[in-house]
Amino acid sequence: MLAYISYPEWLDPRVIPGLPIRWYGVMYLLAFIITFFLFRHEIRRRDPSVQTEEILDLFFWAIVGLLIGGRVFATLVYADTSYYLTQPWLIFWPFDENMNFTGLQGMSYHGGLLGGVLAALLFTRRRKIDFVAWADVVAAAAPLGYTLGRLGNFINGELYGRATTAAWGMVFPTARPVAASQEWARRIAADVGMEIDPGTLLINLPRHPSQLYEAFFEGIVLWALLWFVFRKRRLFRGALLGLYVVGYAFFRFVLEYFRQPDPGMDFVIQLSSRPNPPELFVSVLNLTMGQVLSLIMLAVGAVFLWVMYRRHKRRPTVHTLEDAQTE
């Protein structure tokens, strides 16, 4: 009896075969739209004088910063840096070597966050808008949109997880196969009922559907906490932004133990003496690049929360934009 799930054959990364439109891009577009409407709802509830045009301007520049930061960071940290340094125009080149449209392949969340924050900071300073107050609202709205981004990764069959014997383990056709000669790989195949023919060199093992884990915890769960719990409390200025950064970093760090490390970057920190193929979880002491970046992000978020809380205790600040109008 097979104890794993096959990747759905009906899922196709292309919206319409033959046209350069992919579900990954559509999902990101829907993510931006959902975040925009949630943000507009909350910001205008706090301050009815805020105009939709001003919100659209903010989103335009933040998205530009996000795309630039996400793409540049991905090429400098996760890809062959020398390849892009010698051919920098390829960073934003949306075609492969055969001139097939592929879109921007490879985006870094941490780089996108940094780029989006810098762009929004420059925009709000130029318009004399309270960056932290608006960032609090963005932080409460953004995770739900992030859910759709991870669903786009699932449809693409990318960012899959490590090998597993769990009943919900999934065989992704695009996953990197492993050598059938490895004892641990043959053991997993036997546990899930996967037959290995004599002479087979490579096998495609069931993987954690880590894209769905991230969509649920980094997206739905984090959004529900921020939107339905913390947003309605009279927290200090910057609290929602700090909680978002800390919450995302925590979930991402934990879920990285289930996610396949990026090719060529198996473990940037490996403290365990036990052999650890990148396809398996062996020890909590072996950390990926995503986990290292998440630890840095968690520390930054915690320090930001502490600074904003201390500032609030010394000089209590208003909690919402409508409170500011009445003071």
Instruction: Supply 27's token pair.
Output: 């999902």
User: Which letter does DSSP use for residue 198 in this model?
Assistant: T
Residue 259, in any domain of the structure: no
Q: Which domain holds residue 142?
A: 5-234
Residue 22 lies in a domain: yes
Number of H helices, E strands in the chain: 11, 6
Residue 168 lies in a domain: yes
Identify whether 239 is part of a domain.
no
Q: How many CA atoms lie within 13 A of 269 on its CB side?
A: 13
Place of tokens 């919402």: 320
Q: What is the DSSP string of 94-154?
A: -B-TT--B-------HHHHHHHHHHHHHHHHHHHT--HHHHHHHHHHHHHHHHHHHHHHHH
**Residue 262 counted as domain residue:** no
Q: For the chain, what is the domain count? A: 1
Q: Is residue 321 one of the residues assigned to a domain? A: no
Residue 327 inside a domain? The answer is: no
Query: In the prediction, which pLDDT does 89 show?
Result: 63
Whether 217 is covered by a domain: the verdict is: yes
**DSSP letters along 205-253, please?**
--B--HHHHHIIIIIIIHHHIIIIIITTS-PPTTHHHHHHHHHHHHHHH
The pLDDT profile of the chain, 327 residues, written as one tens digit per residue, is 678 999 999 999 888 877 778 888 899 899 999 999 999 999 999 999 999 999 999 999 999 999 898 888 777 776 666 666 676 766 666 666 666 655 566 678 888 899 999 999 999 999 999 999 999 999 999 999 999 999 999 999 999 999 999 999 999 999 999 999 999 999 999 999 998 988 899 999 999 999 999 999 999 999 999 999 999 887 899 999 999 999 999 999 999 999 999 776 788 899 998 889 999 999 999 999 899 999 999 999 999 999 999 999 887 655 544 454 333
